[in-house]
Amino acid sequence: MEFFFITLLNSLSYGLLLFMLSSGLTLIFSMMGVLNFAHASFYMLGAYFAYQTGLVFGFWPALFLAPILVGVVGALTERYGLRKVHKFGHVAELLFTFGLAYVIEEVVHLIWGRAPVDYRIPESLNFTLFTLFNTQYPAYRAFMMLVSVGMLISLFLVLTKTRIGMIVQASLTHPDMVQALGHNVPRVFMLVFAGGCALAGLAGVLGGNLFITEPGMAFAVGSIVFVVVVLGGMGSLVGAFIASLLIGAIQTFSVALDLSFLDLTAALGVVIDPDSKWYGGLSITISQTAPVLPYLLMVLMLIVRPRGLMGTRES
């Protein structure tokens, strides 16, 4: 019971972090039709910017400054990179973001080195929030959840209740009409791209010190974010939300399952000899395969329902 609740909380906090990352990606995708391969790199930049600004101003100002800086980098990327490439079609845009991911990684190597940097949880959040049964729950994880949920609500409100949100939504589906009404659609694109990058940056600020800030962190989350977007349905925020929580739960709960094919066969009354050639493969437990499960789920989803959970596009 204790294990269940603690793991549930852990999976929630991880899932919400994933959502923060993938919401930006899915927004950008639904707006521009571009899968931003460099999205996780903006996550990494968020962590490094927070580390660097945190050295000067402390964690709290960095929490706001770092995502803004990442957003500025995102805006510049869109304005002077993607927009130029746009006229050559989606493949060129895709390749552009693909290359950008490598450029960002090398720049991080050059500036901060290849080893992890010492980006720590601030002392003011480094305490135990509550003790559940007898496991302590760190305040920082709760703080991370709070920020994610706050971000989710404000994103929802901005998109549905404000004028900017309406223009953004309209630009998603009818860019020509919005343009004809006198709005600057390219600027809307730039803002959305910057906003999506800033969200990834915010995830980096929060995830960087909870886990580890190193040049490999973009690569480590990059693939999982795509799983979230594909699973949730390309361009669907609600889908991304559900998929994030789902993947968070799968990754954390599967660790607990020590079942293997051996147990299955044993339940059927077949005992496999430890000297058998098959023993090694069959004794792999679900917990050992935990990191692969999200990808397996993505493959299955693409076979069964290519547009994802809540997606509207077939492609």
- The count of chain residues that interact with another protein, using the rule CB under 8 A, is 38
Is residue 180 within 8 Å of residue 91, measured between CB atoms?
no
Residue 109 sits in the site that holds another protein (CB under 8 A)? yes
Residue 136 sits in the site that holds another protein (CB under 8 A)? yes
Per DSSP, the three-state class of 49 is helix
- Applying CB under 8 A, among 85, 107, 112, 138 the residue interacting with another protein is 138
Amino acid at 59: F
**What residues pair up with 132 in beta bridges, in sequence order?**
135
Stretch that binds another protein, among 32-40, 49-57, 64-72, 250-258 (CB under 8 A): 250-258
Amino acid at 196: G
- Applying CB under 8 A, among 56, 91, 110, 115 the residue interacting with another protein is 115
Residue 211 sits in the site that holds another protein (CB under 8 A)? yes
Binding mask 177-206 for another protein (x = CB under 8 A): ------------------------------
Nearer to another protein, 78 or 214 (CB): 214
- Applying CB under 8 A, among 64, 68, 72, 116 the residue interacting with another protein is 116
Torsion, CA 162, CA 35, CA 39, CA 243, rounded to 10 = 70
259 dihedral zone (left: phi>0; alpha: psi -120 to 50; beta)? beta
Residue 252 sits in the site that holds another protein (CB under 8 A)? yes
Which residue in 4, 30, 62 sits closest to 307, CA to CA?
30
Residue 241 sits in the site that holds another protein (CB under 8 A)? no
Residue 124 sits in the site that holds another protein (CB under 8 A)? no
- Applying CB under 8 A, among 199, 253, 260, 298 the residue interacting with another protein is 253
Residue 283 sits in the site that holds another protein (CB under 8 A)? no
- Interior angle at CA 120, CA 117 and CA 123, nearest 5: 155
DSSP class of residue 116?
P
Stretch that binds another protein, among 136-144, 189-197, 264-272, 307-315 (CB under 8 A): 136-144
Query: CA-CA distances (angstroms) from residue 240 to 207, 233, 237?
Result: 18, 7, 5
